Chains A and B, each alone.
Chain A
Amino acid sequence: KAGVTQTPRYLIKTRGQQVTLSCSPISGHRSVSWYQQTPGQGLQFLFEYFSETQRNKGNFPGRFSGRQFSNSRSEMNVSTLELGDSALYLCASSLAGGGSTGELFFGEGSRLTVL
């Protein structure tokens, strides 16, 4: 069974640019969450999508956005990049719904460097 797949794995951007990251969840998983990991702030929740709807959102500025497609694949976008956006962006999928333990399965992450 394939795991969570994130692309690209590494990318370098300059300030002011925008970036789109992609995540394909485990087959059958309908919930996709995004997290940002930095040395200073640790792991912080960005947003969660379920059946193409954003169910929860973290405390990030509007430059951070996302969406989910009908096949449960998700993308997140960061516009007008700032140096502080340099981070490892992790996508996680889960079964969600009744009977689920809520366990999240994480992808390898997309490491973004903003110069």
Chain B
Amino acid sequence: ELKVEQNPLFLSMQEGKNYTIYCNYSTTSDRLYWYRQDPGKSLESLFVLLSNGAVKQEGRLMASLDTKARLSTLHITAAVHDLSATYFCAVFPIQGAQKLVFGQGTRLTINP
């Protein structure tokens, strides 16, 4: 059964700093997604990564996928307070039940 693990689960950082959230998954997949969730809100799609080596960037966020290592990273550059939220990665397995499996989420707090 596919398992998705994120780390860290909690991250408090200062504005202007850089940091990376890691997402590891246990079985073969070729589709990985990153979502953002603000408190009490729904999930907002950030990135769709569909192939090994895929890299996507939007503003201060950059996501990458290494399917051989079963690893995706979400890199935050020069963090700003507005990026405070919970970030989830999610994976579709190639085999087995076709359901999106989410990581535990990383609660990111950016302090002025």
On A, residues with C-beta under 8 Å from B are 33, 35, 42-43, 45, 48, 55-56, 58, 90, 92, 101-109
Contacts and interface: CB of A to CB of B under 8 A. Distances in A.
A90 B99 contact: no
Nearest to B30: A102
Interface residues of B, number: 22
Given A55-B98, A56-B99, A101-B48, A42 B105 contact: yes
Judged by DSSP, the binding face of B is strand
A103 B98 contact: no
A45 B104 contact: no
A103 B48 contact: yes
B43 A102 contact: no
Contacts of A58: 99
Contacts of A105: 45
Nearest to B98: A56
B92 interface: yes
Contacts of B35: 106
Given A43-B88, A90-B42, A90-B43, A103 B33 contact: yes
Interface in B62-109: 88, 90, 92, 97-105
B33 A45 contact: no
A13 B67 CA distance: 44
B99 A48 contact: yes
Interface in B28-60: 31, 33, 35, 41-45, 48, 50
B42 A43 contact: no
Nearest to B41: A108
A109 to B, nearest CB: 5
A45 B42 contact: no
